[in-house]
Chains A and B, each alone.
Chain A
Amino acid sequence: MSEPVLELRNVTKRFGSVTAADAITLSVNQGEFFALLGPSGSGKTTMLRIIAGLEVPDEGGVFINGQDVTALPPYARGVGMVFQNFLLFPHKRVGENVVFPLRMQGASKAEQDERLKWALDLLRLDGLADRYPHQLSGGQQQRVALARGLISRPALLLLDEPLANLDRELRKEMEVEVRRYQVELDIPFIYVTHNQEEALTMSDRIAVMNHGRFEQVAPKLEVYTHPTSRFVAGFVGHSNVMTGTLAAIEGGCASLDWNGVTVAVRTPPGASVGDRVDCFVKLEKMRVVAPGGAAQGENRVPGTLRDIIFKGSTADYLVTLENGAELMISEGSETMGFQRKDPLEVVWSAEAGACFPAGGA
């Protein structure tokens, strides 16, 4: 296998008492779309700034194509970047903004023109080259920022929440577009976002970040289906959380006493009887059926339908259980003929649950 394009080895950065990057190790390969997902303040931007050279790590090294660039200033690293609020130069026209990286590299005028045409074509910006940034719409500004990041064919492109300022419609559209550019250019994209849908839609691999640390780095499906930490399970996707005590363990299977309801779960590694655990089950991994109705799953819990929240292609069923707890179940939106207050059963398999030692109180 070829050398990774980007490698971080044990990178640490502290701001006073805050550790914004805590011994981060990572490699990103050619052509990979890598998403960095995490809540606000988790250190995503700091990570990108370290890769770009705008921030010098306190410890550890940054390698691009095998070369140690830790001590190199940003202008010597040859990476492209798309900033959160675009940061287009307000005094330069669109064309001048886009060719800026080429000019800094001392490219010939002919090359500049040719590449500019290529970039404007790729991003469907033809005809806008003579406008100033403030004369563009949000989506257009976003594409100009992308064009500027891509024009010099950088070794890798860093994107810091590039779609955060766009409205929902435009964002959906741009998600597809950005993915298309990435496939076309075949360079690694490192894409920062706190929007999990965005990360799941676009990326190949996801790193989930929290408090400056990587909680999990894995292909997106795996992050979604097999979270390896309590934080990831809670942060990625929408889950019901059941907190209870392990009542019995039989090999790979265990039973959880969840406020009087017994739930079958996979045995969490290293757990023993009497431990308190949180069990996360994604909304769409549960089914609602009429009492006695057919459905696959070791768990079958009776309850009463409280409400249905229509979401378009899906609908969320709120079911109150006999122990007073409430579950939310995502089903298709076509009507199943249930009314409020109808008795129901919620069914799911033990495999669907991800259990971790209980956090907090």
Chain B
Amino acid sequence: MARRRLGPEGRFLLMALPGAIFVVVFLLLPILSIIVFSFWRTESYTLIPDWNLDNYATLFGTTTYMTFLLRSFTMAVAVSLASLVYAWPVAYFIAKHGDRYRLLLILALAAPFFTGIILRVTGIQGVMGPVGVINLGLMNYGLQPIEFIMYTQTAVGIGVTYLFIPFMVTAVYLSLLNFDFELLEVAKINGAKPWRAFIEITWPLNWMGTVIGLVLVFIPSMAESITPRFLGGPNAASFGQVLGLQFGETGTWALGSAMGVLLFAVSSLVILLMWRTVNLQRSGFTGGGS
């Protein structure tokens, strides 16, 4: 009876901590460990704790690595923006007009992930390749086949967008789910035209969801290694691809770790810059608590 009851703070920690510890142990510690390994050296497939900066010297000193990095970065930016522009009207449509089928419409965007990435990329080749369905169709009607789609940066871009655009739609949709559409009525009654209401109300109130969407697309696009290998030409190798190589064929784990750290650093920087544009008070975040 005299037992002291757990206060809200205690109950909060009891429920939140297991998951937080899980993430810290199995995500942050591994990341920390590759940061450490990036200052070591590999010799015949083993890591040797011999502290040095050689990996970073190699990384920054080799033009091709920097080219790969820049290429992946540009690709990720382009893909994120393309997804953003396309995803907004789509997410808005589902949130506003999806009615009781909204969940199904969103799951239908996730369902392609049931098919493995390799098969899907093969499928893209089959549809858009030089002798794929589209070009066969064009030639069948006596038209010029489209040259540019396959084995170019554009092809990689389309492939990467294909993979990650569902993330963007979902993020914006989830944000719109908590958006009070009646606010738009208020704006209109006060004389705002639809586009004006969008810019003044909808866009800022869903900016956080949009940022999360951009991050969700940017991060994997930047690290993507499969699509360039299949859809890119000889000059399309991505940073993720060479990073993967260090852990496969060449077995240079220390250098690979350094590459991982660099990738992580660039991604974190981008996220940080994006996050600075989010003002929690003004994004209408009202996560709760009594």
Binding site for B on A (CB under 8 A): 56, 68, 71-73
Contacts and interface: CB of A to CB of B under 8 A. Distances in A.
Interface string B119-154: 000000000000000000000000000000000000
Nearest to A55: B8
Nearest to A73: B5
Contacts of A56: 5, 7
B3 interface: yes
Nearest to A72: B1
Nearest to A53: B5
Contacts of B1: 68, 71-72
Given A56-B5, A71-B5, A73-B5, 7 more contacts: A56-B7, A68-B1, A71-B1, A71-B2, A71-B3, A71-B4, A72-B1
Contacts of A73: 5
10 contacts: A56-B5, A56-B7, A68-B1, A71-B1, A71-B2, A71-B3, A71-B4, A71-B5, A72-B1, A73-B5
B281 to A, nearest CB: 19
A71 B1 CA distance: 7
Interface of B: 1-5, 7
A252 to B, nearest CB: 51
Contacts, number: 10
A99 B4 CA distance: 31
Best-surrounded residue of B1, B2, B4, B7 (most CB of chain A within 10 A):
B1
Smallest CB-CB A-B distances: 10 pairs: A56-B5, A71-B5, A73-B5, A71-B2, A71-B3, A71-B1, A56-B7, A71-B4, A72-B1, A68-B1
A73 B2 CA distance: 12
A72 B7 CA distance: 12
B210 to A, nearest CB: 31
Nearest to B7: A56
A59 B2 CA distance: 14
A349 to B, nearest CB: 50
B9 to A, nearest CB: 11
Contacts of B5: 56, 71, 73
A68 B2 CA distance: 10
Contacts of B2: 71
A56 B1 CA distance: 14
A71 B2 CA distance: 6
A249 B7 CA distance: 55
Contacts of A72: 1
B1 to A, nearest CB: 6
A49 to B, nearest CB: 9
A73 B5 CA distance: 7
A66 to B, nearest CB: 14
A72 to B, nearest CB: 8
A71 B3 CA distance: 7
A72 B3 CA distance: 9
Contacts of B7: 56
A68 B4 CA distance: 13
A73 B7 CA distance: 11
A72 B1 CA distance: 7
Contacts of B3: 71
Nearest to A54: B290
Nearest to B3: A71
A293 to B, nearest CB: 55
A353 to B, nearest CB: 44
A235 B1 CA distance: 41
A71 B5 CA distance: 6
B238 to A, nearest CB: 49
Nearest to A49: B290
Nearest to B2: A71
Nearest to B1: A71
A65 to B, nearest CB: 15
Best-surrounded residue of B2, B4, B5, B7 (most CB of chain A within 10 A):
B5
Contacts of A71: 1-5
A106 to B, nearest CB: 21
B12 to A, nearest CB: 14
A12 to B, nearest CB: 15
